[in-house]
Structure 1
Amino acid sequence: MKRAERLEWWNIAFTISIVAVMGAVLGNSQTMKTAWVEDTLGLIPPAVFLVAIRFERRGADGGFPFGYARVHSLAFLIAAVALCGVGLFLLRDAISTLLTREHATVAGIDLFGREIWLGWLMIAAQTYAIIPPLIIGRLEQPLARRLQDEVLFTDSKMNKANWQTGAAGIVGIIGLGLGWWWADAAAAAFISLGIVADGWRALRVATAELVDGTPRALGCTGPDEEAGLLIRKLEAQYPGADIRLRETGRYIHAEVRGVTPDARQDLEALWPGDPKRSWRLAQLSFVPPDQEP
């Protein structure tokens, strides 16, 4: 967790520098505008991750007797809504430009007494914008899986989208230089589609988590493999019982209905997967037959 926090602080620092560099050379390019907005959005996942971790460490208190584990789920929802909303806005903007056949231009600027095409500076800025997300995104993936952290995993996906945006942006700018008026808006639309797809996927998972849905696999809407193994193990140990699992942030809460436990349960021993990940099973509760609604 400490390593993930340090990485997210580096992520924020590099993202701020990228936003500043990109903002200095925006011009009239639709691709540059879309890429700049996406890079700015890239600040949301690491910021909400760091805030959520601070709350999660507080533990239970009088006002929140079950602790702050769900803050992680709320942070995930915030990141997902931001991705979806802004992605749809940028997609609408790009499609509108294509339909109205608006011709963007990239003018020349005076630099140290010489006039150069602004597109060269845009390409240089996009090239710089590719490098940090490519490295940080790859470093985040194994940490997200080890911590079962949806926000961190979403951030790694966001970084992947950012460096792909940089590559698409370079193509769009070169297209403008070659006189292809549609290349700029087409590249922006392609980038926007990626943002919307990532945001929609994250929104579905975040919503399911907040309404006590069955635990989902990290980064997708399918069932979690470890949760499936846990259900089968509990069903074998308590035949005929109704087994229910829900996810609270990175943790799993299990409920066995219609059974009275015959002995104290060892949560680590019950965990069916890697023993190093047994921390995911945070609670096991029982509802005896005579207490079922």
Structure 2
Amino acid sequence: MSIRFGRTELPERQAQSLKKAIRFEWFSLGFLAVFIALVFLVMGNSQAMKAAWIEDLLSLAPPLAFLLAVRIVNRPPTRKYPYGHHRSVGVAHLVAGVALFTMGAFLVFDSASGLFTAEHPSIGSVQLFGHTVWLGWLMMGVMALSIPLPIYLGRVKMSLAKELHDKVLYADADMNKADWMTAVGTIVGVAGIGVGLWWTDSAAALLIAASILRDGVKNMGAAITDLMDTRATTFDSGEPHPLSAKIDGHLRSLPWVQEAGSRTRDQGHVLHVESFIVPRDGRGPSLEELEAARDACIDLDWKVQDIVLVPVTELPREVGGSSSDHQSERNR
């Protein structure tokens, strides 16, 4: 049997989900292009509208990063890139996170300055079909139209992100949530100006900016830790990925294995696993047993891109295994 480096392509179900995600990302870019132009036309002097417009510009980053990453993610491993190109997803995630963080920090400063200096924004009127119309009505109308679609897109992308274990797609779904919340906040800010509460505009802009900054910090932090080979987590970076424990459980079930523990790192859509095995009674496993165990682990889940089995006399503390090791992990 020849040695294989896991799977260099996604299984059929995930491949179809990826195609669906690509279609939705292109649709998102088209929607954003139209909406960005509309917001620019009615923006006026409102700080909230300005923040919403910049937030929509930033919303372009995750889809663009995702579409760029998927163009190279399934290239097979080479001598120069022996681990494949799945890490392009992590790089795209970092780019999106840095963009969100940078602009969020700028908008927080800009919005807070307007609030503390008590700037009173003015919203004028425009001639529309021969009638004089307060521009604020157009602002609120455009923002109201932008609410339903991001809610739908966010739900679809969140489901696809979970299916594909794609953190860039998750960041984009999170951004869609921020989009419709931004629209609601902007409507409140503009309406406040209309009733004489000048500060609601800057306050809404500050809340929008804080939301962008929060998303930037969250996604940038998750991308950096993944690229630093932290323990693999679920697609939303919420908890350790359960696949590592599943692999350990399978290895421990083998008759020649006494104990097993793995360290798993996120490669993008897929995971790279190094499993340490203590053979039973100190008996060294045969090559056939090692290859059979390795192939069985790869077949457990499509996300096991590559796995290395290392026979050892004692498990490293970092991967646990014995009760004392588990206690040490809990105490840290």
Report the TM-score, using the length of structure 1 for normalisation. 0.90
In the alignment, which of 258, 270, 285 is matched to residue 308 of structure 2? 285
3-state SS in 2 of match to 1:132? helix
- Structure 1: where are the runs of 5+ without partners? none
3-state SS in 2 of match to 1:265? helix
Structure-2 residue corresponding to 1:217: 234
Provide, for residues 96-122 of structure 1, a one-character-per-residue CA deviation record: whole Å limited to 9, x for no partner: 111111111111122233221100110
Letter in 1 for 2:48: T
Distance verdict in 2 for CA 1:113–1:157, change over 3 Å: same
Query: Which structure 2 residues correspond to residues 118-129 of structure 1 after superposition, within 5 A?
Result: 118-129=135-146
How many residues end up aligned between the 2 structures?
A: 288
Query: Which structure 2 residues correspond to residues 52-67 of structure 1 after superposition, within 5 A?
Result: 52-67=69-84
Question: Whose Rg is larger?
Answer: 2
1:265 matches 2:288: no
Asked if structure 1 preserves the Cα contact closer than 8 Å seen for 2:56 and 2:179, the reply is yes
Structure-1 residue corresponding to 2:220: 203
Distance verdict in 2 for CA 1:269–1:128, change over 3 Å: same
- Structure 2: where are the runs of 5+ without partners? 1-17, 279-283, 317-332
Distance verdict in 2 for CA 1:224–1:242, change over 3 Å: closer
Partners in 2 of 1:228 and 1:199 — Cα distance?
30
Letter in 2 for 1:284: I
Query: Which structure 2 residues correspond to residues 111-122 of structure 1 after superposition, within 5 A?
Result: 111-122=128-139
1:103 matches 2:120: yes
Structure-2 residue corresponding to 1:247: 266
Comparing 107-116 with 14-23, greater Cα deviation is found at: 107-116
Asked if structure 1 preserves the Cα contact closer than 8 Å seen for 2:87 and 2:268, the reply is yes
Asked if structure 2 preserves the Cα contact closer than 8 Å seen for 1:205 and 1:216, the reply is no
Partners in 2 of 1:267 and 1:10 — Cα distance?
41
Structure-2 residue corresponding to 1:28: 45
Q: Could you tell me the percent identity over the aligned residues?
A: 36
Partners in 1 of 2:190 and 2:93 — Cα distance?
33
Partners in 2 of 1:65 and 1:252 — Cα distance?
14
Partners in 2 of 1:99 and 1:225 — Cα distance?
48
Structure-1 residue corresponding to 2:65: 48
Letter in 2 for 1:270: C
Partners in 1 of 2:302 and 2:47 — Cα distance?
47
Asked if structure 1 preserves the Cα contact closer than 8 Å seen for 2:232 and 2:266, the reply is yes
Letter in 1 for 2:306: Q
Asked if structure 2 preserves the Cα contact closer than 8 Å seen for 1:94 and 1:188, the reply is yes
Structure-2 residue corresponding to 1:131: 148
Partners in 2 of 1:198 and 1:271 — Cα distance?
34
1:138 is displaced (CA, Å) by: 1.4
Distance verdict in 2 for CA 1:24–1:146, change over 3 Å: same
Asked if structure 2 preserves the Cα contact closer than 8 Å seen for 1:60 and 1:68, the reply is yes
3-state SS in 1 of match to 2:292? coil
Partners in 1 of 2:145 and 2:190 — Cα distance?
15
Letter in 2 for 1:174: A
Q: RMSD across aligned C-alpha pairs, in angstroms? A: 2.3
Partners in 2 of 1:126 and 1:280 — Cα distance?
40
Provide, for residues 182-222 of structure 1, a one-character-per-residue CA deviation record: whole Å limited to 9, x for no partner: 10011111111211222211112111110111111222343
1:230 is displaced (CA, Å) by: 3.2
